[in-house]
């Protein structure tokens, strides 16, 4: 069975992805690596630890990069809360991060296992640094399933850029410039796969520790989205990537393309450039997820938050 590592910046939607990936039992997860992103590393590593603890999962958590390679740190606290978890400020976890740095863990795991796969839910700084430190691991990573980028240049952070790429374009460029097969869930697909009142009601009914914790956190993002759209709905971008890792059949429409990352443009920095025609002779390196099975993904998530270990 392929071993998986989850690289993440929890994050409310990261939480939904982690819960589903862990409680589905479908992925053999070696560890979780925390990175800067939605909020600072202080909170992302704490949130990862707390999620693991609430699920009674025996999965080690490693702290990684606290800032991007070149640019100043970005955050999405306006969407996720100052603590990254809906301003619920969960009590401190009783478990601790591992002493090994996330980058070193990624390298070690790649060498100690026949093959590993990565589920990446935040900026790609940890993964890029690992690849730069030890280029030989590129051939030992069988796939990366990621929530990142845009398919039609409709950004959520800049006019054309999605947050995970915008937060560290240089790191994303390193990762996309490898030969590792990538499945990319872009922002537009997430925006087209929102979860409405039925899913929200199911989450609110959950009586598990992890379900109730997520329910409290999601109220923050629900309020924000209702103010914007007038509807009570959830945008759980990272959940789509987790479900695609668990069951690729949740992807109902996709395209194969060469994807590069713009790192220099004044207006287009962080843009994922989708070349469907291979104009320079390059072969496709990314499966871009264009449509998902919303009902199946919702069901997978609800099953996961209601799972009793």
Catalytic residue list: 9
- Rounded to an integer, what distance in angstroms lies between the CA atom of residue 20 and that of residue 27? 10
135 — phi, psi (to 5°)?
Answer: -65, -20
- Rounded to an integer, what distance in angstroms lies between the CA atom of residue 4 and that of residue 52? 15
Q: What is the residue-wise DSSP string for the chain?
A: --EEEEEE---HHHHHHHHHHHHT--SEEEEEEE-SSSS-HHHHHHHHHHHHHHTT----EEE--SS-SSSPP---HHHH-TTSSTT--PPPPSS---SS-HHHHHHHHHHHSS-EEEEE-S-SHHHHHHHHH-GGGGGGEEEEEEE---SSS--SSSSS--HHHHT-HHHHHHHHTSSS-EEEE-HHHHHTS-B-HHHHHHHHH--SHHHHHHHHHHHHHHHHHHHHHSS--B--HHHHHHHHHH-GGGEEEEEEEEEEE--S-TTTTT-EEEESS-TTSPPP-EEEEEEE-HHHHHHHHHHHHT---
> Do the beta carbons of residue 165 and residue 148 sit within 8 Å?
yes
């Amino acid at each position: 069975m392929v071993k998986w590592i989850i690289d993440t910046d929890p994050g409310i939607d990261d939480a939904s992805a982690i819960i589903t990936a862990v409680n589905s039992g479908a992925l053999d997860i070696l560890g979780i690596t925390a990175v800067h992103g939605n909020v600072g590393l202080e909170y992302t590593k704490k949130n990862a630890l707390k999620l693991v603890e609430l699920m009674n999962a025996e999965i080690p958590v490693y702290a990684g990069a606290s800032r991007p390679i070149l640019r100043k740190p970005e955050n999405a606290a306006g969407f996720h809360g100052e603590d990254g978890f809906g301003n619920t400020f969960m009590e401190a976890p009783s478990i601790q991060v591992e002493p090994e740095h996330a980058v070193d863990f990624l390298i070690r795991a790649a060498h100690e296992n026949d093959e590993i796969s990565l589920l990446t839910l935040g900026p790609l700084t940890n993964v890029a640094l690992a690849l730069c430190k030890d280029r030989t691991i590129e051939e030992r990573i069988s796939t990366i399933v990621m929530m990142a980028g845009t398919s039609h240049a409709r950004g959520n952070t800049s006019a054309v850029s999605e947050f995970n790429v915008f937060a560290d374009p240089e790191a994303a460029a390193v990762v996309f410039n490898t030969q590792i097969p990538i499945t990319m869930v872009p922002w537009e697909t997430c925006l087209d796969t929102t979860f409405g009142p039925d899913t929200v009601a199911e989450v609110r009914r959950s009586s598990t520790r992890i379900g109730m914790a997520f329910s409290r956190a999601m109220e923050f993002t629900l309020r924000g989205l209702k103010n914007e759209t007038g509807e009570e709905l959830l945008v759980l971008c990272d959940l789509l990537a987790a479900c695609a890792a668990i069951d690729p059949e949740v992807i109902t429409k996709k395209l194969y393309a060469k994807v590069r990352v713009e790192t220099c443009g004044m207006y287009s920095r962080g843009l994922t450039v989708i070349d469907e025609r291979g104009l320079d002779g390059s072969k496709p390196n990314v499966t871009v997820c264009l449509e998902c099975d919303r009902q199946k993904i919702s069901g997978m998530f609800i099953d996961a938050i209601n799972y009793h270990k």
